């Protein structure tokens, strides 16, 4: 052990501090020596690789984890020096050393065997110890700038929450008049997948988070500054096949599924899984997009073409489930590894678009606890810093099946703005900036949000009915400042608070019905 007297596993952690440009070359040399790249949250991205090797010492085999630290990386400043300072503190302080040993024993007693899970289980204690020693990364505070990849309504509400805490905002969006533009100090106009535009955003930011973006952009930025909730979580949740594999590795229930590449494999999946199926593109799509229903054997023919995916591309085919309710849990996790979950919400969708959320969901307390525990487990396994939302199916037997994950604030959590002491948006800002997480105590017995969707043809957006809606008690109206309205476009939402969830939902529905758009 690098710390005499501290019990350790037969794993040697080797830190290699190199210039950023030398990372690929050093990685290649390690691979030539027999090291293999590992997977998981600590092995992402390629700019900060973790490689696994071994050595034999007097007949005993030791595993070697080679951590390649890019020198001068804004995302992980002085990481190597901090590791050495922690080692020296353990050597010098017997009480700290024993506290760490006790934490290790407790993890092992809990049955953790995976090296990755063992490492993650130590995270909260280690980060707390670093803070006590004064060598933890300080929080980002005013006048720090938060870069947001995406300037839609989620980016707008994130920006509003960040403003209240004194942060400056920069946004990347294809539309200079996007909803978040009104609350941003700077708008970079560019496509969500434009790496150069994202780098322009990051050049003036201290930390970057996302509203809606792909892994490639996040991975490119991670070499330059902290990207949160983390590129590994974005990678896993951004690919439905990777997400299914991850969920199964964590013991989470999912619908029976198959990876298919062509019509013949889809036909076999239909036989093995049974119909109806949901055929989903591996990447892209939200609000029910990039997926189709295969209800009859005759639907198999041409299904991949209707999905817009050519033969040979991997897609997800999964059994359509008959569920009792759709639920969601928003989980926030800080840089110290501590996590909070908001009350479980019950949701209703129309053709893939969320239309209503009500909380707390009318489910047994034990079911709500299981949902919250699962959300926390998955956030920890992804090593998230920020927000993870899990969408669940409640089955007739009371079991929970994961539908999908979202590594961000979520439409089904809008009621937290007025209904919870700390909203999902403020909690996300606190988490990504290294601040303590806030209370998630409800402010009412029932909270409900009803989304306001556009109607009719594409035209300028001029809302009507505001006075009628706002004359109702405990109604909170949010319009997203979208300049144009069209059929089923998300234009805003109404949240109501009441003594019970049912009463809150009735009020929110009534207020939402009053809102319309000039024709």
333 & 272 share domain? no
The full DSSP string for 407-450 is SS--GGGTTHHHHBSS-HHHHHHHHHTTPPP----BSSSEEEEE
Residues across the chain: 519
In a domain, 139, yes or no: no
- The per-residue pLDDT of the chain, averaged, comes to 91
Domains contained in the chain, number: 5
- Give the DSSP H or E segment for 172: strand 168-173
> Is residue 235 one of the residues assigned to a domain?
no
**Domain final residue pick, 190, 209, 227:** 227
Domain identity same for 414 and 481: yes
Who wins on pLDDT, 129 or 424?
Answer: 424
Is 249 part of any domain? no
Q: Which residues contact 467 (CB under 8 A, 6 or more apart)?
A: none
Residue 212 and residue 158: Cα distance in Å, rounded? 13
- Secondary structure in 3-state letters for 197-252: HHHHHHHCCCEEEECCCCHHHHHHHCCCCCECCCHHHHHHHCCHHHHHHHHHHCCC
Residue 293 maps to which CATH number? 3.30.1490.20
What percentage of the chain reaches a pLDDT higher than 90? 68
Q: Residue 180 CA to chain centroid, in angstroms?
A: 20
Domain containing 128 equals: 85-134
Gap between the Cα atoms of 68 and 76, Å rounded: 11
Helix 365-381 and helix 115-133: axis angle, to 10°?
A: 80
- The pLDDT, as a whole number, for residue 47 is 57
Query: 480 in a domain, yes or no?
Result: yes
Is residue 350 in some structural domain? Answer: yes
Structure tokens belonging to residue 239: 């690919």
Residues 73, 93, single domain; the answer is no
What pLDDT sits at residue 456? 96
| Range 276-292 average pLDDT | 85
pLDDT in tens, 142-164: 789 999 999 999 999 999 999 99
pLDDT digits (tens, 9 = 90+) for 438-491: 999 999 999 999 999 999 999 999 999 999 999 999 999 999 999 999 999 999
How many CB atoms lie under 10 A from the CB of residue 164? 11
Tell me, what CATH number does 419's domain have?
3.30.470.20
Distance, CA of 191 to CA of 179 (rounded, Å): 16
- Give the C-alpha separation, 352 to 346, whole Å: 15
In this structure, are 314 and 334 located in the same domain? no
Domain assignment present for 273: yes
The mean pLDDT of 240-254, rounded to a whole number, is 96
Residue 292 shares a structural domain with residue 351 = no
List the structure tokens of 128. 């707390």
pTM of the model: 0.89
Residues 373, 481, single domain; the answer is: yes
Both 308 and 294 in one domain: the answer is yes
The torsion angles phi and psi of 85, rounded to 5 degrees, stand at -65, -35
Q: Name the pLDDT band for 41 (thresholds 50, 70, 90).
A: low
Q: In angstroms, rounded to a whole number, what is the distance separating the alpha carbons of residues 386 and 407? A: 8
Contact indicator for 175, 211 with CB cutoff of 8 Å = no
C-alpha angle 407-423-169 in degrees, rounded to nearest 5:
70
Query: Are 20 and 71 spatial neighbours (Cβ–Cβ below 8 Å)?
Result: yes
């Amino acid at each position: 052990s690098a710390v005499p007297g501290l019990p350790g596993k037969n794993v040697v952690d080797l830190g290699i501090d190199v210039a950023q440009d030398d990372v690929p070359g050093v990685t290649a040399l390690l691979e030539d020596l027999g090291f293999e790249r590992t997977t998981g949250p600590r092995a992402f991205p390629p700019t900060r690789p973790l490689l696994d090797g071994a050595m034999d010492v007097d007949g005993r085999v030791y595993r070697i984890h080679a951590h390649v630290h890019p020198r001068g990386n804004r995302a992980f400043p002085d990481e190597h020096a901090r590791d050495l300072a922690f080692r020296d503190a353990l050597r010098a302080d017997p009480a700290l050393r024993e506290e760490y040993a006790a934490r290790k024993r407790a993890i092992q007693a809990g049955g953790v065997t995976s090296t990755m899970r063992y490492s993650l289980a130590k995270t909260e204690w280690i980060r707390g110890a670093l803070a006590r020693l004064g060598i933890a990364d300080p929080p980002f505070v005013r006048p720090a700038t938060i870069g947001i990849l995406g300037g839609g309504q989620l980016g707008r509400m994130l920006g509003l929450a960040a403003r209240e805490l004194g942060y400056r905002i920069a946004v990347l969006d294809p539309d200079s008049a996007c909803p978040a533009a009104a609350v941003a100090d700077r708008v970079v106009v560019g496509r969500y997948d434009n790496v150069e535009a994202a780098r322009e955003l990051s050049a003036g930011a201290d930390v970057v988070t996302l509203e809606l973006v792909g892994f490639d952009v996040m991975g490119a930025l991670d070499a330059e500054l902290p990207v949160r909730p983390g590129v590994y979580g974005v990678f896993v949740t951004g690919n439905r096949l990777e997400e299914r594999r991850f969920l199964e590795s964590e013991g989470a229930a999912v619908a029976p599924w198959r990876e298919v590449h062509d019509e013949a494999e889809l036909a076999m999946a239909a036989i093995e899984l049974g119909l109806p199926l949901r055929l989903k593109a591996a990447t892209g799509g939200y609000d029910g997009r990039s997926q189709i229903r295969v209800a009859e054997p005759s639907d198999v023919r041409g299904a991949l073409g209707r999905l817009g995916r050519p033969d040979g591309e991997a897609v997800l085919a999964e059994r359509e489930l008959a569920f009792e309710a759709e639920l969601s849990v928003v989980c926030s996790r800080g840089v110290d590894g501590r996590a909070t979950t908001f009350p479980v919400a019950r949701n209703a969708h129309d053709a893939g678009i969320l239309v209503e959320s009500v909380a707390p969901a009318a489910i047994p307390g034990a079911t709500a606890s299981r949902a919250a525990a699962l959300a926390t487990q998955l956030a920890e396994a992804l090593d998230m810093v920020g927000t993870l939302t899990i969408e669940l199916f409640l089955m007739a037997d009371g079991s929970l099946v994961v539908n999908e994950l979202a590594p961000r604030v979520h439409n089904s959590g809008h009621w937290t703005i007025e209904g919870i002491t700390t909203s999902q948006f403020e909690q996300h800002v606190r988490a990504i900036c290294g601040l303590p997480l806030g209370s998630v105590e409800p402010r009412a017995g029932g909270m409900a949000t009803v989304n306001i969707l556009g109607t009719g043809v594409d035209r300028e957006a001029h809302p009507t009915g505001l006075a009628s809606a706002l004359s109702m008690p405990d109604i909170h109206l949010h319009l997203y400042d979208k300049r144009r309205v069209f059929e089923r476009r998300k234009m805003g939402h109404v949240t109501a608070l009441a003594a019970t969830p049912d009463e809150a939902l009735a009020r929110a529905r009534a207020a939402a019905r009053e809102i319309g758009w000039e024709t």
